[in-house]
Structure 1
Amino acid sequence: MDAEMPEEFYLPATNILPPDGPPGPQGGRPRVPNRTVLAVLWYVLVAGVRWKDVPRAFGCSGRTAHRRLPYGQKLGLFGSLHQLFLDALRRAGTLSADTVILDSFHVRAHGGGELTGPNPTDRRKKGSKHTVLVDERGTPLVILTCGSHVSDHCQILPAVLAFPKIRGKPGAPKTRPRKLYADRGYDSAAARAILRWLGIKAVIAQRNREHGSGLGKVRWVVERTIRWLKGMRRMRLPYDRLAMMQLAWNTLAASVMCFRLLE
């Protein structure tokens, strides 16, 4: 993926971000423009560089972008961008969220931090688990992060509750899927009961059964989306220790992927 942010990605943000203001009455250095900061965040997300290694050619230091990242998350910028692109995809007829697929992948936590835990598949070294919910075409709807020690089935309810309100067509927005596919790691009587109560049909491979359930014919799209996410180096090489920072990266990554699909 190109590490340079396209102008078309920034245009929707102009209606969400506060305007670039002049220096305060006491003077001082002018505030770095929003577009410049967003370009740095795109670069760091894709290239995976440390904040101190952001090229000076951007006209924005890594420290400034680091400070503005959680600000953008609290402001709802990245969530609003994700929402805009999801609505546009549904309007274009390329998003169908009646059926969703859930999967996850582990990343090693360099330096530890929040949302980490001992990874049972990596000699209990600290790591994080990214849980990804996509539609049947692989569009990322939800990306969540928790410690690597958290069981997969514990993330089903948070993922479903985080399902976005998808507009783009006349009538009420889409607020819940009808069917959810997942592998045997998500098999749980409690999870199935919750999904049934929510009116969602659970198609989950059962534990202690022979492989060959046939779910791979449906689940391959989420595996492809995970490969795309791993192509964004910051998603597989996290350095930020705070949960707010990782949540911001998750939402920004989902926005970038939806933008690419819309293109």
Structure 2
Amino acid sequence: MAQCRLPEQFADVAAHHLPPDRPVGAEGGRPRTPNRTVLKVLWYVLTTGCRWRDVPPDMGCSGETARCRLIEWEDLGVWARVHLDFLRLLRRDGELKHETAIVDSVLVRAHGAGERTGPSPVDRGKPGCKYSLMVDRNGAALGVKVAGANASDHTQILPLVKEEFPKVGGKPGRPKETPDRLYADAGYDSEATRNVLRSLGIEPFIRKRGTPHGSGLGKVRWVVERTIGWVKGLRRLRVRYDRREEAIEAWNTLAMAVINFRLWRHAAADAD
């Protein structure tokens, strides 16, 4: 249960991006739940996968309050800034290798359907969604795109690379706008995709359909499969309950921030 508790290091970084806690007005009234309490509940829901109504009352914040704050902070761009901050810390410490990007996808069931869902080809046509994930050479989460479960992989790779590749500071020099190399499996096989990637200055390493195994790409690609395992370890993302697009985007970005935080903390522990 230790992983269900909000780490102080994560809370300290996130606190810089959260709006100030609102004081009680001149007319009095019930004070607004503090940001740190809400953040603690969001971490708990993300890691345990519990429903909003099952949040323990003694946590100091109802699930409905946490849900509203999750979406409010998504609209303010909080989660995107927290995600970028942990990427910056990884780059500062020499742990970000985003010259190489690796892409893969995973399907999850979507209870109650909702936005960005479609019939799952691996779950008897039940509603589901596809997470297309991009990581660096070490498995740090760079970006994610969500689509219906029936979306083809090769239609997701270009929007993922062009729209979600982060511009990360942390060292002198202009941040990279695209990776130098991109690795993907045969699900992304398309000559048109390769041509577009090359026009962006990206060298594609995408296995062609029908070719035998043993290309050696797996020596690089395995980290994205490990990161997908980490994503599914955050149980709120293992099965999708939220229907609104804003909540889905918020969970995805928060999950990437959590993964990168754990990588950064692990690297810092090794350095000590």
For the aligned pair, the TM-score class normalised by the smaller chain equals over 0.9
- Specify the code of the residue in structure 2 equivalent to 1:187: D
Hey, what does 2:102 align to over in structure 1?
101
Alpha-carbon separation, structure 1, partners of 2:7 and 2:39:
11
Is structure 2 residue 187 aligned with structure 1 residue 182? no
Hey, what does 2:268 align to over in structure 1?
none
Following TM superposition, by how much is the alpha carbon of 1:197 offset from its aligned partner in structure 2, in angstroms? 1.1
Is structure 2 residue 88 aligned with structure 1 residue 87? yes
Following TM superposition, by how much is the alpha carbon of 1:51 offset from its aligned partner in structure 2, in angstroms? 0.1
Is structure 2 residue 205 aligned with structure 1 residue 203? yes
* 1:91-240 equivalence runs, <5 A: 91-161=92-162, 162-240=164-242
Following TM superposition, by how much is the alpha carbon of 1:169 offset from its aligned partner in structure 2, in angstroms? 0.7
In structure 2, stretches of 5+ residues that fail to align are 266-272
Cα deviation per residue 1:170-221 (whole Å; 9 max; x = unaligned)?
0111221000000000011221121011110000000122233221111110
Alpha-carbon separation, structure 2, partners of 1:240 and 1:207:
35
- Specify the code of the residue in structure 1 equivalent to 2:233: G
- Matched residues, number: 263
Hey, what does 1:257 align to over in structure 2?
259
Following TM superposition, by how much is the alpha carbon of 1:121 offset from its aligned partner in structure 2, in angstroms? 1.8
User: What secondary structure sits across from 2:240 in the alignment?
Assistant: coil
User: What secondary structure sits across from 1:2 in the alignment?
Assistant: helix
Alpha-carbon separation, structure 2, partners of 1:153 and 1:24:
53
Hey, what does 1:73 align to over in structure 2?
74
- Specify the code of the residue in structure 2 equivalent to 1:70: I
Over aligned residues, Cα RMSD in angstroms? Answer: 1.1
- Specify the code of the residue in structure 2 equivalent to 1:68: R
Following TM superposition, by how much is the alpha carbon of 1:13 offset from its aligned partner in structure 2, in angstroms? 2.3
Cα deviation per residue 1:88-146 (whole Å; 9 max; x = unaligned)?
10010011101110001000111111111011122111101111100011001012211
Alpha-carbon separation, structure 1, partners of 2:42 and 2:144:
18
More deviation, 103-112/15-24: 15-24
In structure 1, stretches of 5+ residues that fail to align are none
Alpha-carbon separation, structure 1, partners of 2:192 and 2:219:
26
User: What secondary structure sits across from 1:180 in the alignment?
Assistant: strand
- Specify the code of the residue in structure 1 equivalent to 2:70: L
- Specify the code of the residue in structure 2 equivalent to 1:137: N
More deviation, 4-13/16-25: 16-25
User: What secondary structure sits across from 1:133 in the alignment?
Assistant: strand
Hey, what does 1:34 align to over in structure 2?
35
Alpha-carbon separation, structure 2, partners of 1:206 and 1:41:
41
* 1:39-78 equivalence runs, <5 A: 39-78=40-79
Structure-1-length-normalised TM-score: 0.97
- Specify the code of the residue in structure 1 equivalent to 2:144: I
User: Percentage identity across aligned positions?
Assistant: 56
- Specify the code of the residue in structure 2 equivalent to 1:80: R
Hey, what does 2:249 align to over in structure 1?
247
Cα deviation per residue 1:48-90 (whole Å; 9 max; x = unaligned)?
0000000111100000001111111111111111111101100
- Specify the code of the residue in structure 2 equivalent to 1:254: M
Alpha-carbon separation, structure 2, partners of 1:17 and 1:232:
22
Alpha-carbon separation, structure 2, partners of 1:20 and 1:64:
14
